[in-house]
């Protein structure tokens, strides 16, 4: 029996409260000035604190850490709560710990124990997810030569011409990479940093504290370290894509919730036309757009963590993400609009919330790509 299931509800609450306190007292002050980028050393210090708390679990056994037991409803509940709490102070920190936790999940599956290392994971091919070919594969349909070509291309080992993107603190030491080819299916390899060529790219849309890096394999894969193959690799791929979808949604939801609350606060402070702007329908609509986007995403996330909730199907998660990420983006934009010109300036922090929301929308499959996959999946299944 896993440890999480034995946790009482009030214990779980106390646990997440401790994370919330840590976020308020330690993480939030580090990110209090949105116009400045928090230094990597400060980010790592915050992550070390989360490690000490047990939110990040680097041990060989699953416990109460982030994504230790995603298959358990309570494990999902705790994980989503961790991500949302940390994201309310910093989306970048939440995303970094999300990547670290997923890598540790693979470590445990592969029997790797590397407490000193900092492994990460990459979950996207060089051109997204692989479009309809991926849906055929996941749906157990026969693959046409075109599908095989698309999957083999998208999920090839990254080389100089087809690098993959990683966004994380620069101190990582190993990377879990997946590939697909017609002969072997999915395979995972844990590559040491020395086996990879990593180039820092110019800062992008959001998650400012995490440098964007272009990564490809430098050395022969045959000399690589741990790996997963066969059914275990396929299962891990599906599980982690589902975890990734939930995690990205939770991180974004917390950002937009915060943006909505800040917009609400502003609406009760700022006057226009002789009265508080909260009295104007235009502002009410904007605030509502932000808060309702956040609450609807929260409702769907919460539904996945009920004690009797089944493991969420990837197709439904992608359907949910395709819908929610668009609404969350619109919500963050509406929240900024409440601030008018002030919202556009870096020191209010609203533009950072907006950029991050848009940034997160594009990771793990853009809404358009997810919607395309879901449409294809729906049609195939009904046939």
Partner 1 sequence: MNHSTHIEGHVALPHPLSSRSAMAGLPAITRQLLAYAPQSIWDLETARLPRPLQALRRQARAFAQQHLQPQALTVDALPHLPAGEVHPQAQALLALAGRQGWLYDILPPPLGSGAWSQTPYPLAWRACLKVEEFSRACGGLMLLLCAHQLGMAPILLSGDLPLMWRSFVPAARATRQGRPHLFAFAITEPGAGSDAEDGHGAATTKPGVTARRARDGWVLSGDKVYISGGDLAEQVTVFAALEGEGLDSWTCFLVDKGTPGFRPVRTELKMGMRASSAAHLSFDQVWVSDKAVVGGLRQGWSLNRATLNLSRLPVAAMGVGLAQAAVDIAIDHACQTTLGGKRLIDFQDVQLTLADMIAETCAARALVWQGARTWSPRQGVASMAKFHCTDTAIRVIHQAMDLMGERAILHSARLEKLYRDARLTQIFEGTNQINRLSVIEDLQEDLLARMASAPGY
Residues 6 or more apart whose Cβ sits within 8 Å of residue 268: 276, 278
Q: Is 340 in the site for partner 1 (CB under 8 A)?
A: yes
Q: Is 359 in the site for partner 1 (CB under 8 A)?
A: yes
Degrees, nearest 5: CA angle 337-339-340: 65
Q: Is 92 helix (H, G, I), strand (E, B) or coil?
A: helix
Q: Is 366 in the site for partner 1 (CB under 8 A)?
A: yes
Task: Compute how many other C-beta atoms are within 10 angstroms of the C-beta atom of residue 92.
Answer: 27
DSSP letter for each residue of 125-146: BTTBT-HHHHHHHHTTPPPPHH
Q: Is 229 in the site for partner 1 (CB under 8 A)?
A: no
Q: Is 113 helix (H, G, I), strand (E, B) or coil?
A: coil
**Which residue, among 366, 377, 297, 349, has the nearest Cα to 90 in the 3D structure?**
349
Binding piece for partner 1, criterion CB under 8 A, among 109-117, 234-242, 257-265, 331-339: 331-339
Provide the Cα torsion 261, 265, 268, 273; round to 10°: -90
Binding piece for partner 1, criterion CB under 8 A, among 41-49, 106-114, 247-255, 333-341: 333-341
Task: Answer for the pair 310, 317: CB distance below 8 angstroms, yes or no.
Answer: no
Binding residue (CB under 8 A) for partner 1 from 354, 357, 374, 377:
354
CA 21 – CA 23 distance, rounded (Å): 5
Binding residue (CB under 8 A) for partner 1 from 14, 182, 282, 307:
282
Task: Answer for the pair 103, 96: CB distance below 8 angstroms, yes or no.
Answer: no
Closer of 73 and 374 to partner 1 (Cβ): 374
Binding residue (CB under 8 A) for partner 1 from 151, 169, 263, 317:
151
Q: Is 284 in the site for partner 1 (CB under 8 A)?
A: no
Q: Is 336 in the site for partner 1 (CB under 8 A)?
A: yes
Degrees, nearest 5: CA angle 216-217-222: 160
Task: Answer for the pair 90, 209: CB distance below 8 angstroms, yes or no.
Answer: yes
Closer of 40 and 204 to partner 1 (Cβ): 204
Closer of 252 and 329 to partner 1 (Cβ): 329
Output the smallest distance, CB 101 to partner 1, in A.
20
Please give the residues from 18 up to 47 whose contact with partner 1 meets the rule CB under 8 A: 35
Q: Is 333 in the site for partner 1 (CB under 8 A)?
A: yes
Binding piece for partner 1, criterion CB under 8 A, among 71-79, 126-134, 228-236, 241-249: 126-134
Binding residue (CB under 8 A) for partner 1 from 28, 192, 205, 261:
205
Task: Answer for the pair 133, 143: CB distance below 8 angstroms, yes or no.
Answer: yes
Residues 264-267: contacts with CB within 8 Å, 24+ apart?
264/291, 266/338, 266/339, 267/338
Binding residue (CB under 8 A) for partner 1 from 182, 272, 302, 313:
272
Output the smallest distance, CB 36 to partner 1, in A.
10
Output the smallest distance, CB 351 to partner 1, in A.
4
The site that binds partner 1 (CB under 8 A) totals a number of residues, namely 57
Q: How far is CA 30 from CA 27, 89, 240, 269, 367, in A?
A: 5, 9, 30, 26, 32
Q: Is 84 in the site for partner 1 (CB under 8 A)?
A: no
Binding piece for partner 1, criterion CB under 8 A, among 39-47, 187-195, 256-264, 339-347: 339-347
Binding residue (CB under 8 A) for partner 1 from 72, 369, 374, 377:
369
Which token pair is 377? 């999946």
Provide the binding-site residues for partner 1, judged by CB under 8 A. 35, 124, 127-128, 130-131, 133, 146-154, 165, 167, 201-206, 212, 271-274, 282-283, 286, 329, 333, 336-337, 340-347, 351, 354-355, 358-359, 362-363, 365-369, 372
């Amino acid at each position: 029996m896993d440890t999480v299931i034995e946790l009482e509800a009030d214990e779980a609450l106390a646990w997440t409260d401790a994370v919330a306190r840590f976020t308020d007292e330690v993480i939030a002050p580090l990110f209090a000035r949105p116009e400045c980028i928090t230094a990597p050393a400060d980010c790592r210090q915050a992550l070390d604190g989360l490690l000490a708390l047990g939110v990040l679990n680097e041990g060989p056994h699953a416990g109460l850490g982030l994504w230790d037991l995603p298959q358990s409803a309570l494990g999902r509940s705790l994980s989503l709560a961790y991500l949302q709490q940390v994201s309310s102070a910093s989306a970048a920190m939440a995303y970094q710990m999300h990547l670290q936790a997923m890598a540790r999940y693979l470590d445990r599956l592969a029997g790797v124990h590397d407490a000193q290392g900092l492994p990460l994971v990459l979950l996207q091919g060089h051109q997204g997810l692989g479009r309809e070919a991926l849906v055929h594969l996941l749906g157990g349909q026969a693959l046409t030569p075109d599908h095989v070509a698309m999957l083999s291309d998208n999920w090839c080992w990254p080389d100089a011409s087809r690098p993959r993107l990683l966004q994380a603190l620069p101190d990582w030491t190993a990377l879990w990479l997946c590939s697909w080819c017609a002969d072997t299916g999915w395979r995972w390899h844990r590559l040491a940093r020395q086996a990879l060529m990593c180039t820092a790219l110019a800062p992008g849309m959001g998650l400012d504290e995490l440098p964007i890096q272009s990564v490809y394999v430098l050395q022969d894969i045959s000399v690589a370290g741990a790996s997963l193959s066969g059914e275990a690799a396929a299962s891990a791929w599906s599980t982690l894509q589902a975890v990734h979808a939930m995690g990205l949604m939770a991180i974004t939801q917390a950002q937009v919730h915060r943006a909505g609350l800040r917009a609400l606060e502003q609406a009760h402070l700022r006057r226009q036309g002789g009265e508080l702007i909260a009295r104007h329908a235009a502002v009410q609509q904007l605030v509502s757009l932000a808060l309702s986007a956040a609450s609807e995403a929260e409702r769907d996330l919460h539904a996945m963590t009920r004690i009797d909730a089944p493991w969420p199907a990837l197709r439904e998660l992608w359907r949910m993400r395709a819908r929610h990420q668009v609404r969350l983006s619109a919500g963050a934009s509406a929240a900024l609009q409440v601030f008018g010109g002030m919202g556009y300036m870096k020191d209010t922090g609203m533009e950072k919330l907006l950029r991050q929301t848009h940034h997160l929308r594009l990771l793990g499959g853009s809404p358009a790509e997810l919607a395309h996959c879901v449409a294809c999946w729906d049609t195939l299944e009904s046939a």
